[in-house]
Amino acid sequence: MTPALTDIVAERQRQIAAEGWSQKHDDCHVEGEMARAAGIYAVIAGSNMTDYRNATGGYSLNDILSSLMRYYWPWDRSWFKPTNRRRDLVKAGALIVAEIERLDRLSGRAAS
């Protein structure tokens, strides 16, 4: 495995061990919450914070990110802990893995 994949796996394991996000807990997130949280971390990681204006009617990047957080961040704002681009992408990757695992379990239950 590459260092990036190793770090995503380690973050997923940290989420389970340190945060207590078990499979049972993850299975309660049935409205795409983990995928949305991953998306927010990815957007933040991909944002150039010096780009204050863009092609969406002159809104600042901070306005857009604030709106994304308000409408798409699925949990209490205190759970959003951006750090740096790479770390935020690792968090996003681990959340994506959690959502894929949840969907896999769901389809396994549906098939049985």
Q: Which domain holds residue 96?
A: 3-111
- Give the whole-angstrom CA distance, residue 95 versus residue 93: 5
3-class SS of residue 92: helix
Band the pLDDT of 17: cuts 50, 70, 90. Answer: very high
- Give the whole-angstrom CA distance, residue 11 versus residue 72: 22
pTM for this structure? Answer: 0.81
Q: Tens digit of pLDDT for each residue in 77-109?
A: 888 888 888 999 999 999 999 999 889 988 886
Task: Indicate the helix (H) or strand (E) that contains 32.
Answer: none
Number of domains observed in the structure of the chain: 1
